[in-house]
Structure 1
């Protein structure tokens, strides 16, 4: 099985999560508001929602995805600023430039979050902890913004770690600490475990990752499908390594919707239409490739992007729909879908034929 914690010990990931990003960018131009409860979002009159709130506002219960009218009731002194995506995108480009001083393996999850792989980097004697600390200091010095960071031998654990010391903090999980950290981790911290998935896990007696044992796999697959096996893998510290090489590639199709989608059924219908187009592209490739994975991508109304994937030897409708439900269930409250993407990873067949000639 690929990506066990033992194999992952050679890899190093940093996950950078900017602190209340939209508001923090706005406060660069309005420092006099730094001690006030501030949020970015649409107005109550337009039935708007909160995109981001600073930590002062969050103490009143204001949070992302909340109706602006509700936010004003919770915090009457809330300062509401309009959303300026062009300003945030400009800062994201500067963040990307900073990150690439340390590694070329930068993967933005949204405008304010990015995963960096720093395996084998020479700077700071290869210490991911020191690299992360230097990145945070550089961001604050050059951009005037604070960032939280997580460091771990697995990408998804680095993301979880980045949330442990927010705001403006850092949390490190070394390879030897992975098992102990996971044992005590609430399963709701695992990416992809939303309310519906947690309801199933709780019913199976699984509240911490250590409860999601191998004997639970049949029940997980029965109630959650392919997503159940994904949950078991993440609770065990298993994350499949990214494949490299020119003989593995991705073939995909995506569509920006004419209007934002607020219903899962509409997303599933759009995926069915995308599947038809993708099958034509796969057919055009001929018989030289084997499908190894199905992938689904959703871009939301706040321009954040979520992706997930599962092993499959064909473009499977059931798998694709399960992946879409997973992303839908774990989206932030109030976000609608503006773009849907579908792709497959393929491997050249000749490689498998050559590998069969060698003894195991």
Structure 2
């Protein structure tokens, strides 16, 4: 019997966990840890099939060893994407075992894109350690990223789920979409501009696309009908846009406790993040002053970046990004109306904090 009643779902899509007696932060932590615990054996089995040279780089990237192969206690990231796969499957009645191969595959795709993104963006540090390309060079980093992509397909093909072919096709489609998004993103960052609407559309093809894919594949693993798969895809995409806006805010105004993310971090790289583009389109005096500063040929040092961050805020870019993040989070929750989707809501509240 369904947990929903005529009066509404067991967990309201708007009230979330507020009235359930469950702390969303504690629940999200459990779900993230569960995803890492369940997918790690599959990741290890897949990595073990790699030639030793590639395996070292892959295991270093995910935090299992140092550059010499010495075992460490690290983990790569929080495991959000596999957690979303499992939570989406669970919301539609499936047990974790039905979706664990898909969860591992999505995590491998995420890690392959991270390795490639570090190269494209010139990011030398990944989670407090040198990025893979810094240690082994661009060519080998590209190769290990490609290998992880192949392992993702191999892992998904080995799943027992009846929807395996549909899941593989969706994962392949999203990789092409991610490539398109990165192409547009690089064009916008390299000075070819782009309106705020165009930049939002670009972000729909990046982080948002992979989160949508994760949730949709979870639904496929549950044998859900096409309308439920589409709703889960939309949930993930809306959540992904909310996450991206939060990430953009941290990239400009800093992240407490993270010395590698000071105020103005993205501005010193002249990144055209969404609050930046919102400020550039602002007709206010602060917006015009910021546009002139960002267009100058002078390097933006720390002091100039702090000044630029203040101008973006005065031009309305910060308020716009905060409001837009909340709007996309609400849109994500709306896609769960009528479903007992407490786990998805807990993950959403965890990655899109209320005090952003």
Q: TM-score, normalised by structure 2?
A: 0.30
Write 1 or 2 for the structure with the bigger share of helix: 2
Q: Which has the higher contact order (CA 8 A, sep 6+)?
A: 2
Q: Larger radius of gyration, structure 1 or 2?
A: 1
Q: TM-score, normalised by structure 1?
A: 0.29
